[in-house]
Amino acid sequence: MMIRVDEDLCVGNGQCVVVAPEVFDQRDEDGVSVVLVDRPDGRLAELADQAIRECPAAAIARLTDDG
Ligand code: SF4
């Protein structure tokens, strides 16, 4: 799977970084989430899924490999 953050939806509360700090970071200037590992697998994929569920803005998308 591939994950992507919609910068326009992200409210910068950092929940994804709390859940999956190896997958997400926040921009210093505005707190918007950036994806560090856009194709996580194994444990990181599970954490990314949890972050998707817990994101209050539904800003994290999970894409299939064909888009
Ligand atoms: S949890 Fe969602 S809204 Fe919060 S920083 Fe991460 S992507 Fe943005």
Give per-residue pLDDT as tens, 39-63: 999 999 999 999 999 999 999 999 9
Average pLDDT over residues 13-33: 98
Average pLDDT over residues 20-45: 97
DSSP state of 62: E
Provide the pLDDT for residue 35. 98
Is the beta carbon of 5 within 6 A of some atom in ligand 1?
yes
Is the beta carbon of 6 within 6 A of some atom in ligand 1?
no
Q: Which of 9, 13, 18, 26 to mutate to test the pocket of ligand 1 (most atoms within 8 A of CB)?
A: 13
Provide the pLDDT for residue 1. 84
Is the beta carbon of 3 within 6 A of some atom in ligand 1?
no
Q: Is the pLDDT at 28 greater than 60, yes or no?
A: yes
Q: Identify the residue whose tokens are 């859940």.
A: 19
pLDDT class of 66 with cuts at 50, 70, 90: low
Q: Report how far residue 33's alpha carbon sits from residue 9's, in angstroms, rounded to the nearest whole number.
A: 10
Reference 52, options 27, 30, 23; nearest CA is 23
What b-and-e string marks burial along 2-41, b requiring 16 or more CB atoms within 10 Å of the CB?
Answer: ebebeeeebeeeebbbebbeebbebeeeeebbebeeeebe
